[in-house]
Amino acid sequence: MLAAEQRLRRAADFSAAVRSGDRGSRGGIVVHLLRGRASAPGDPARAGFVVPRAVGPAVTRNKVRRQLRHLLRDRMATLAPGTDLVVRVLPAAAGETYQRLGQDLDTAIGVARRRRSRPAKPANAAGVPAGEG
């Protein structure tokens, strides 16, 4: 179980992470990692889950959510303070084993972390990023 201060609760927080965060995916998991939210110094990292009905009936959705919450509990310490993490579950995750969900979660978080370190594409004379136009 995640501590109360480690949980995303407001829809605005979920939206901000999904819209502005770095995305990484693997298997049946997509993560959105938003670093450096405007908060008080020392605020812990927070996480939230999006498990749509397409994943399966309520029993299946809750099982997947519980497994991911348990897996994420150990990984929260690796996230910088002020980080928001949204884990979006796809239907493919319903049939995965606990170990596979853990591997997919680690890979997806790693991909999202690397996205920020990638340099931006240089713009051409018109100010349009290369490859767009």
pLDDT in tens, 81-117: 889 999 999 999 999 999 999 999 999 999 999 986 5
Looking at the DSSP assignment, which residues form a beta bridge with residue 6?
Answer: none
Instruction: Give the SS3 label for residue 42.
Output: coil
Say how far apart CA 28 and CA 105 lie, in whole Å: 9
The answer to whether residue 119 scores a pLDDT higher than 60 is no
pLDDT of residue 36: 78
pLDDT of residue 100: 96
pLDDT in tens, 70-91: 999 989 989 888 899 999 999 9
pTM above 0.85, yes or no: no
Q: Where are the beta strands (DSSP E) in the chain?
A: 22-26, 29-34, 46-50, 84-89
User: Hey, what CATH topology would domain 4-116 get?
Assistant: Ribosomal Protein S5; domain 2 (3.30.230)
- Say which residue the tokens 């399966």 belong to: 56
Domain ranges of the chain: 4-116
**In the structure encoding, which two tokens stand for residue 52, read together?**
């749509």
